[in-house]
Amino acid sequence: MKRPLKIGIAGLGTVGVGTVRMVQEHGASLSLSAGRDIKISAVSARDKKAERGIDLGSYKWLDNALDLATEPDVDVVVELIGGADGIAKELCQAAIANGKHVVTANKAMIAHHGTALAHACEAAGVSFAYEAAVAGGIPIIKSLREGLAGNRISRVYGILNGTCNYILSAMATDGREFDDVLKECQQLGYAEADPSFDIDGIDAAHKLAILASVAFGSELNFDAVHIEGIRHVSLMDMQFADELGYRIKLLGIASVSENGLEQRVHPCMVPTTSPISHVSGSLNAVVADGDFAETIVHEGPGAGAGPTASAVIADVLDIARGLKVPTFRVPAKDLQQMTPVAMSKHRGAYYVRLMLVDKPGVFADIASALKDHEVSMESVLQRTRDPGEAVPVVMTLHETEEEGVLGALAEIEAIDAVVEQPRMIRIENL
């Protein structure tokens, strides 16, 4: 048997502790699978005295995580600190420069610096592995980069944030408003005290940028991702969606066409007949459309100690076996610079909810605004209320270019009888 592969772990939070526990509990089977022993040789975290429920006594403790990059007894640096920049980025760069492999769960760092890191690691002849950065325990990176390597991928999309999916699922199932469910998530520890990273779509956008690079062999371009969160989704929208035969999900969608690369994260109405509409709770799901394999669906837990540690160790095993694959589907030098497709050029169908006072001529004004921007209405739902009260009116619009929809809604919002900002949700017939 080959000499042991020795790993150093930076960050002993939920995922770091899960990773240590997996090596301790499954060390023998991991060694058989890898063809060599997997050993933890060093660890680093901010607080050495914190109670973590695991025995760290046999590992070398380093107060400064950067020292893992030059530690002689470390072959693989496992970076679980997090953050797009700072010590996490410095550690990965230093480890690569010192000829060490890197395994990370850091989606923000990859989304912002992944292309440069790919060039560095491939030049140094080491691996930069990040299965744990996207969709937790779902092996989506391996699936896209290796299992579907013979396919031309045209689209990849999915539910990429468990917190948002939990909130939207609870709203739909329990008939509760967004703020109420979010508060419960925070009390249960499913959401942070400041939940903006999740509910404003940033976390999902980081993951989508990574998936797009792997799926299409393109340079990462996080700045080109259109990002909307779920703060504006109301229970009323949920109820209308159900009536129309849809469910609302926060989706990340990336696709390529002759116009370039479209990357977008936003709430979507998806038909109840679509498999992804039934992915509930905190689960994630990723779907890839290939020209030979056709549509492949991946579903599972997207976060948590066990699933994410499982993905970390899967990467460690690949390194132990000597598996060498390009960081993002193709060698870094061959990554394409794809033209971003502006969201204003997106074509699709739309749900629009208006709150308006029913006055004579108001529907004629709305129809005129739609006509001015060449937008065609498919259906209308209206609720009656007491005279003088604002009435919800829902329209679904035929497939059209988003620029026209936004122009029409700006004109409609200026109508005196419209008392709230129009709410628009894109319809995706997946």
- How many CA within 13 A on the CB side of residue 54? 20
DSSP per-residue letters across 125-178:
T--EE-GGGSSTT--HHHIIIIITTTS-EEEEEEE--HHHHHHHHHHHHH---H
DSSP string, 226-240: EE--STT--HHHHHH
Contact 157/249 with Cβ under 8 angstroms?
Answer: no
Active site residue 207: yes
Say which of 89, 107, 142, 207 is annotated catalytic.
207
Task: Kindly give the interhelix angle for 362-372 and 402-413, rounded to the nearest 10 degrees.
Answer: 150
> Side-chain half-sphere of 407: how many Cα atoms within 13 Å?
15
Structure tokens that stand for 33 in this block: 């699978």
Q: Is the dihedral of CA 49, 103, 310, 5 positive or negative?
A: negative
Token pair listed for 353? 């909810």
Q: Which residues belong to the active site?
A: 207
